[in-house]
Structure 1
Amino acid sequence: MAVSGRKISDFHGSISRGSAEDFDQCCEPCLALGQHKEAHGLCVECQEYFCKNCYIYHQQIKATKHHQLLDKENMENNSVDLAVCTEEYHIHKNEIVKFFCTNHEALGCTDCITLNHRVCKIDYIPDKCAGIGDRDEYKETLRELDQKLNDIDAVIKKATLQDKEIDSSYDHVVTEIVKFRKEINDRLDQLQMKIQTDADKKMLNDKQTVKNVLDTCTAVSSDIKKFKSSLQDSKTSQQNGQLYIMIKQAKNKIKLDKLKTAQESLDQTSIKYTFQRNKELENLTKQDIFGNLNLPTTKVSLETKKEFDTLTHSGDINVRTNSDVTECSITGCAVLSNNKLVLVDKNNKKLKVLDMSSKAVTKEKTLDSVPWGIATVPPDHIAATIPKKKEIWLMETRKLKIICRIPVKGKCKGITYHQGHFYVVCWDPYRLFIVDTKSNFNKIFFLHGKIFTNPNYILIRPIISD
């Protein structure tokens, strides 16, 4: 990072005008001790002037021996950019970032290289940075930054749409919950009214039965009392004829036995009735079965999906490279980014990264076994099926380096990835495996031979819920 500071011209001017007793630039460490000594050189990193002794000492101590020093002769004969390597390292304070480890792709200071990268291939930045602004790496970095900004804008746009969709979904859910609750309340009110109506009818009928029994008992009791009084009066008056008739009438009255009929009617009336709860409805109060929050099984883009009405040929791309030994046979393809694809070249046992902008293969990886299918694994991995080895090879996309090998129970062909699981089509016999990244098989489906003839690929189609 270039930082404004002393210029070489300033130093030239000072040493040309100065003398043994009159000079513009002094040794700054000596000046701090009150000693005025003429500057003999300049440290680019420290941006300090040194006398001869301080200049030599600065070259010898461990902390500064790698600093770029300029003496008078070099200053006069060479044009050197002093605005180089002035950025301090965030870990080792007061140290300047001057090195780049190509093995670990890491920037570092002198301490970092000494402690952690002794056996690595190291670039000394002052030697490598000349003309870097005109190189392809600079231009590619700008393009990648622009692409990253475009990706960020796309994510922001999607996040904004999803934020609105979240509010809309929430409002819809709450509306449906309240609506469902009202429907339940209305239905329960109807059922309650029906049961209460039945209870009212039962109560009125039973009350009428009891009233009838009481009326019958009162009437029978009144008749008996009248017969009893008449019998006593006839006996007292010695009206034997009338007494005889009254006795026979009383016996006939007793035989009618209205009291027994009333008793039977009363016995048949159930007065201790209760309300029996509906067990299913009772369970509603004990379990969380009012309803569920239905979440979609797949994440679906909020943008409207458009089907291709027609497919138009827009050009050919040659994916053959100089190292290919036979004709290409592309058996798999996956999207890495907006302008990059990864291809499976079965015949050449290769994975090839295709740049759609330049329409050229920019990277390739030769494998020791024939690959077949390919799938992207967010955020920065790909997975390739290796049928003969019965394995899925998980790789990082930047260098196509194999991270791990996942065994599969069959000759694996097509593959796709969704929410932490691989969906793999295998042969011998035809099966579909669902396996996670830790080699755990979640489900196995047998593909019937009469339905699936030589299945090679699989596609996950999102289900869009209303």
Structure 2
Amino acid sequence: MASNVPQCEPCAEDGSYLEATRWCCECQQWFCDNCGKYHKRLAVTKAHTLLSKLEYEKLPNMTSAISRKCHKHSDKDLEFYCNIHVTAICFSCMKEGHSLCKSVNKIKDVATGIKSSAAVTDVMATLEDFVDVFEKLHKDRKTNKDNLKTAKDIIDAKVENLLDENQKYLKQLAADLKSEVHKKYTKEASALDLEIDTYKTKRSVLEKKLSDVKTMVEYASNEQMVLSLEDMNRDVSKHEKYLQSLDGHVFTKTLAVDFNLNALRLKDTVRSFGQVSVQSAKCPVRLAVRQFAIPLPRAQKQNVIRDIKCLSNGYLAMTDSENNRVLIIDQNGSTLSEESLQGSPRCLTFTKDGRIAVTMFDQQKVLIWNPYLPSKKESIDVNDECTGIACVNNILIINCQRRGLLLYNVIDTKSRRLIEYTGKLDIHKFGVDNVCIYKSKTNDFITLNINSGVEIGRFKVYSKMPSCLAKEDFDKFYIIDSSNAVRKIDNKSCKSEIVLDVSSGINKPQAVATFVEKSRGMVFKSVTKFYLFVVNNDGSSILMFQKK
């Protein structure tokens, strides 16, 4: 903050020049002791925050850079906040460009409780995560450089030992090799120095940014907090994109030489001691995925959740086979709906019109009902043990283990079978007219057009007793693995990888679901959050993993 001696602004207007002792965060004016006292007594300003000079000096520079004036209408104050366009506006802006916006509030109303809001908490938590990642990257790069130096020293020592056996002829070859090793080391060390400096600088910048945010929470006004969050989130988004761009592109370098042992004997044919190479392995430092536990409603018996699906609003629907019920809960674990059934439910899906469809394994049927009118249930007899189920348009695709896939139209009740798809299948909608099927017995991942019955693609995904298919935004799916892991399948590249394991708390998983939240927060621009829900511990608990 500026350190010039301030003067009382109201007194200066009257021709008196007194040293100011208080700064009003709301009015952005300096006051002397007397003016400050009167300012706190007036009804319209008694709630304003007055800071001492020392407290004012503690405010970060970005606070002083915040202007309450509109950048389009410099003579107008910023009085309103448009949630649609996520920006602060003046009265003129509101009339000119935001008259049709349905969500415009006064800044002072938006600012109420802002410091304790999820918006500020999320910024601080994200900055803390970034600081931690850059700290780890900084240490990892330094360790990598030290290891390169150690490898270089070991290679140098081995070269010296070889020189003793054929000193005259091999000395030149050794010098050439050491020179090449040094060049490789210098190149890689220089690159690592650049990375080390970069991550150290970014960590310092983020530590300062985090400190500024904490200081603003303590000393800045609510309006200043609102007006500064746009810049904060721009910085957060920038660093997040940078960290995401690093994923899979930070490599651990090792220096090694494949020594040519023939150099000891065949001086006429040997031209070097060995080939110098630098091998790269992906750096293990990652931006952490946040993990939360969702409490489950209690029942007479221990919960055994067999399947879980996300509704469009983020609520969770699940089958509890041990207590013969279907639950809908929010992400805090509060029960929104509970329907008891005569039998054990297995898998579920939602029809196009929002009804729940549940496979009843033992009773060899599917139940369909409106969650708001649970007393009216439609029953589909499939005459087979049924597990997996999905819905494409108005067609239910039901996994009948002995008789093949049953395609049932919920509008006209017509049905047909694809008898070649038997056994335990996990099914998920894919695109407009397709489903993806995971056949656990053969480890086949199949893309099938339900209109023609023609396979679009098929490849192997080797997983240990996989089950429960869940889809991400595009060509990626998730499936649980009995080796205490969650595996991601890329339908485009036909590859898979483990993304969560015991180190992430995965233990005896039973089901998995995904939810992609795209929103425009009050003080955030467009935000996308990805949630992965894993039914854990033999179906008795649920873990939620969040990644932006």
Normalising by structure 1, we get a TM-score of 0.33
Higher fraction of helix: 1
Higher fraction of strand: 2
Structure of higher RCO (CA pairs closer than 8 Å, 6+ residues apart): 2
Normalising by structure 2, we get a TM-score of 0.28
Rg bigger for which structure?
1
